[in-house]
Amino acid sequence: MTDATVQTTTPTQSTPPPSSTTGAPPPSAAAPKATMLSDGGDSAPNGAEAGKTGGQGHNSGGHFDANGDWRSGFVEGLDDATRETWGKLSSRYTSPAEMAKAHVNLVQTMDKRIAIPGPDAKPEEVDAVFQKLGMPEKPDDYKFNLDQITHWDPARKEQIKGLAPLFRKARATQTQVDEFVAQQAEIDRVQQEAFEAQANTIAQQRRKQLETEWRGEDFKRNKSFVKATVETYAGADTDEIAGLRLADGTFAVDHPAFARMFAKIGAERAEDDRDPSAFNGGMRDSAKAQIEQIEREALDKGWSPTHPNWPHARLDALYKKVAGSRNLHTA
């Protein structure tokens, strides 16, 4: 320390007289002391507590340096617990700039976070959160990409689109709706394949049942009668009737009860030889073959149509089957 002149004070009513002739103020609890001459160094600037200071630049454990460490400028007014926490956190940074950068990053990260609404939150507050997550504002804003789902018919696709209000009510995000559609399409595909496989098994069992009832040529004949009956009486509705399915997925016309009925109708129509029809086409073909055979045999015998042995009676019956036996009426 350098030499300094000590200036004495003049006693007044508010200034007590000096207790010695040296001019130094009397010792007092309120008297200031030079920092470097303090007995224990137990006072620190900025209200720092005794024992909380450390070497310059040292900041571990929540201790602050009173002689230039930039971290000490943040502790004024903090309680002990907060100072301790600040000391541990601030030890991560080597400069104010580094700490400022970290704080900016923290704030930006926090701004991107979505707070969970409380139990008393208003519906619009909850909606705002889910909209950030991807929920559309209106049901009509949901997008349904259904073009690639080939096993869904138009009716099924419209049914799925009709769920949009329900999705919005449940605050579903677009991603959740996309996942729902994908999962539902897969479930429907599996169920449809299983249903069709079961229907094919039932159809095969029913065919075997009819093959047992209609043996050999009768099965082919009756099968043709079923087809002719449907086509003749259904007319323009043939395709629709042919495509009708029962609850088990099989075609209605393949059911033994329907098949027997259609075959019976066809068989009865086939017996009617008054007019050529789809039902008696087989009969006419058979009659034609018989006519050719009978005429050939008669000619081989040297008979002609004028010969008394020519088989007119047999041939006339067959001619009626070929040309029809309905009488022609003239006015």
Query: Where are the chain's structural domains?
Result: 57-103, 139-193
H or E element in which residue 263 lies: helix 256-270
Residue 59: pLDDT above 80? no
Choose from 44-58, 163-177, 270-284 the range with maximum mean pLDDT.
Answer: 163-177
Q: What are the pLDDT digits (tens) for 288-310?
A: 888 888 988 989 999 999 899 99
Choose from 20-34, 132-146, 269-283 the range with maximum mean pLDDT.
Answer: 132-146
Q: How far apart are CA 271 and CA 280, in angstroms?
A: 7
Query: Which range (1-5, 93-97, 247-251) has the least confidence?
Result: 1-5
Whether the CB-CB separation of 256 and 210 falls below 8 Å is answered with yes
pTM summary value: 0.47
In three-state secondary structure terms, 118 is: coil
Beta bridge partners of 251: 245
Q: How far apart are CA 192 and CA 190, in angstroms?
A: 5
In the numeric block, the tokens 């799925």 are attached to: 160
pLDDT grade for 158, boundaries at 50, 70 and 90: very high
pLDDT grade for 326, boundaries at 50, 70 and 90: low
pLDDT grade for 316, boundaries at 50, 70 and 90: confident
Radius of gyration of the chain (CA): 54
> Average of pLDDT values for 27-31?
48
What would you measure as the largest C-alpha separation in the chain, in angstroms?
185
